[in-house]
């Protein structure tokens, strides 16, 4: 039986994105282990190792995680190590440098490089040289957006550089979700006649919910609610901004939600104004749910959203206001027509297709 190790900084990343691949490996005679910051028993995983790893590259705990990971890899003699997230992928490949004689194949999925067109210079100075050097010790580098793919092909030295359509989405789940709209609107305390604008994402600077809130203050239309699903350190800042702009009756922060598929079904327009993305899952979920999507014109988003009419400069408040206002003027049938096109476009990102691509990579490196 062949042995595979998945590494990531946090367990939530494994649970959110990689369970279908782990399930396939387990059912096809691979023993799968996981190493991350939290030990949690999951189906089809042989063993979960807890690492002292943190997201910050400046924390000394990561040095301890390096030695923990070294012990795990030296002890288990894996056939494949598949690493994810920036810090875990760096530590994994640093350990793997000492283990090349074992012929372990190192696969690294880049879920979005920290350096990209328009990113701060410090990102290029810090992260780019590290990724460039470690690409020499990477058997397969997988990218999930076209900007990262072309950059890697031109500059990095991994044995193989692959592009796949994201990490896989169960598009049918979102398309086929049924919900009683009146009951859900009552639960959220939103009048049924109102249009719902929706954003999903952590309440942080990068997700940029503040720009949408500011843009809404310029719209003379009372026929909407803007709801944000997510938690984060900017909650109080956003609440104060909502109050300052007199939008308390138009904007709701719902916190973390387990019913995103249902909220998508009762929404009319999805807005994703972030400054940085790899390939945003929430945009994919909105498209699979049949929603028109307004998104910032950045890496990842432009892989998904093709219409220039709905791509925005995330810092341009007037532009965001204008596009939201234009869509609010459309009737619901027109919005559904736009959304139905998104349902078709997102099908190539379905888990059935990405699983086939990953299975091919695993088989080629076994």
| Spatial CA neighbour of 82 closest among 148, 18, 144, 39 | 18
User: pLDDT digit string (tens) for 323-364?
Assistant: 999 999 999 899 999 999 999 999 999 999 999 999 999 999
CA distance linking residue 9 with residue 15, whole number of Å: 12
Per-residue pLDDT at 313: 96
Query: Distances from the Cα of 113 to the Cαs of 117, 129, 147, 207, 322, in angstroms?
Result: 10, 12, 10, 16, 31
Instruction: Report the mean per-residue pLDDT for the chain.
Output: 94
State the burial class of residue 50 (Cβ atoms within 10 Å of its Cβ: 0-12, 13-18, 19+).
middle
pLDDT of residue 103: 83
Residue 101 has pLDDT above 60, yes or no: no
Q: In three state form, how does the secondary structure of the chain look?
A: CEEEEEECCCHHHHHHHCHHHHHHHHHCCEEEEEEECCCCCCCCCCEEEECCCCCCCCCCHHHHHHHHHHHHHHHHCCCEEEECCHHHHHHHHHHHHCCHHHCCEEEEEECCCCCCCCCCHHHHHHHHHHHHHHHHHCCEEEECCHHHHHHHHHHCCCCEEEECCCCCECHHHHHHCCCCHHHHHHHCCCCCCCEEEEEECCCCCCCCHHHHHHHHCCCCCCCEEEEEEECCCCHHHHHHHHHHCCCCCCEEEEECCCCHHHHHHHCCEEEECCCCCCCCHHHHHHHHCCCCEEEECCCCHHHHCCCHHHEECCCCHHHHHHHHHHHHCCCHHHHHHHHHHHHHHHHHHEHHHHHHHHHHHHHHCC
pLDDT tens-digit map of 149-172: 999 999 999 999 999 999 999 999
Q: Does domain 171-349 have CATH number 3.40.50.2000?
A: yes
Domain ranges (residues) in the chain: 2-168+350-364, 171-349
Rounded Cα distance between 357 and 360, Å, is 5
Residue 216 has pLDDT above 90, yes or no: yes
Residue 10 banded pLDDT, cuts 50, 70, 90: very high
Percent of the chain with pLDDT over 70: 98
Residue 22, pLDDT score: 97
pLDDT at 99: 64
Tell me the percentage of the chain whose pLDDT exceeds 90.
89
pLDDT in tens, 232-242: 999 999 999 99
CA of residue 189 relative to chain centroid, distance: 29
Residue 177 confidence (pLDDT): 95
The string of pLDDT tens digits covering residues 302-312 is 999 977 679 99
pLDDT at 213 over 60: yes
Instruction: Determine the Cα–Cα distance for residues 95 and 104; give it in Å rounded to an integer.
Output: 11
Contacts of residue 241, Cβ cutoff 8 Å, sequence gap at least 6: 210, 213, 214
Shared fold status for 2-168+350-364 and 171-349 = yes
pLDDT at 235: 97
Tell which residue, 182, 351, 345, has the closest CA to residue 265. Answer: 182
Write the CA distances from 166 to 209, 293, 346, integer angstroms. 24, 18, 11
Average pLDDT over residues 132-147: 96
Give the up-direction half-sphere exposure of residue 280: CA atoms within 13 A in the CB hemisphere: 31
Residue range 248-285, pLDDT digits in tens: 999 999 999 999 999 999 999 999 999 999 999 999 99
- In terms of pTM, does the model score above 0.85? yes
Q: How high is the pLDDT of residue 100?
A: 61
Segment 185-196 mean pLDDT: 92
Question: Would the pLDDT of 102 be above 80?
Answer: no
**Does residue 16 surpass a pLDDT of 60?**
yes
What pLDDT, on the 0 to 100 scale, is given for residue 168? Answer: 95
| pLDDT value of residue 71 | 95
What pLDDT does 192 receive? Answer: 82
CATH superfamily of 2-168+350-364: Glycogen Phosphorylase B; (3.40.50.2000)
Q: Where does the pLDDT of residue 222 fall: very low under 50, low under 70, confident under 90, or very high at 90 and above?
A: confident
């Amino acid at each position: 039986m062949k042995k595979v190790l998945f590494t990531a900084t946090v367990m939530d990343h494994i649970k959110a994105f990689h369970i279908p691949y782990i399930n396939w490996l387990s059912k096809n005679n691979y023993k799968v282990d996981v190493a991350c910051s939290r030990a949690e028993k999951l189906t089809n995983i042989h063993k979960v190792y807890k690492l002292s790893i943190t997201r910050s590259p400046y924390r000394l705990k990561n040095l301890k995680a390096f030695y923990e990971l070294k012990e795990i890899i030296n002890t288990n003699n894996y056939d494949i190590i598949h690493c994810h997230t920036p810090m875990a992928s760096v530590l994994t490949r640093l350990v793997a440098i000492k283990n090349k004689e074992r012929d372990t194949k190192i696969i690294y999925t880049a879920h979005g490089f920290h350096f990209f067109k328009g990113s701060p210079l410090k990102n290029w100075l810090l992260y780019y040289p590290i990724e460039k050097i470690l690409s020499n010790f990477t058997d397969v580098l997988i990218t999930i957006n076209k900007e990262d793919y072309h950059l890697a092909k031109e500059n990095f030295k991994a044995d193989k550089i692959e592009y796949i359509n994201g990490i896989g989405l169960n598009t049918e789940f979102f398309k086929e979700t049924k919900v009683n709209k009146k009951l859900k609107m009552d639960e959220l305390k939103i009048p049924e006649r109102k249009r719902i604008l929706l954003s999903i994402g952590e309440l942080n600077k990068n997700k940029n919910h503040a720009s949408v809130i500011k843009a809404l203050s310029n719209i003379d239309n009372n026929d909407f609610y803007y709801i944000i699903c997510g938690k984060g350190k900017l909650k109080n800042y956003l609440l104060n901004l909502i109050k300052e702009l007199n939008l308390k009756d138009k904007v709701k922060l719902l916190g973390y939600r387990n019913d995103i598929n249902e909220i998508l079904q009762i929404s009319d327009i999805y807005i994703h104004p972030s400054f940085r993305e790899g390939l945003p899952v929430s945009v994919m979920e909105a498209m699979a749910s049949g929603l028109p999507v307004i998104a910032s014109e950045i890496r990842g988003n432009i892989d998904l959203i093709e219409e220039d009419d709905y791509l925005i400069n995330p810092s341009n408040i007037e532009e965001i206001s204008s596009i939201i206002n234009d869509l609010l003027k459309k009737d619901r049938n027109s919005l559904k027509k736009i959304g139905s096109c998104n349902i078709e476009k997102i099908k190539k990102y379905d888990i059935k297709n990405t699983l086939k691509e990953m299975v091919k990579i695993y088989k080629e490196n076994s």
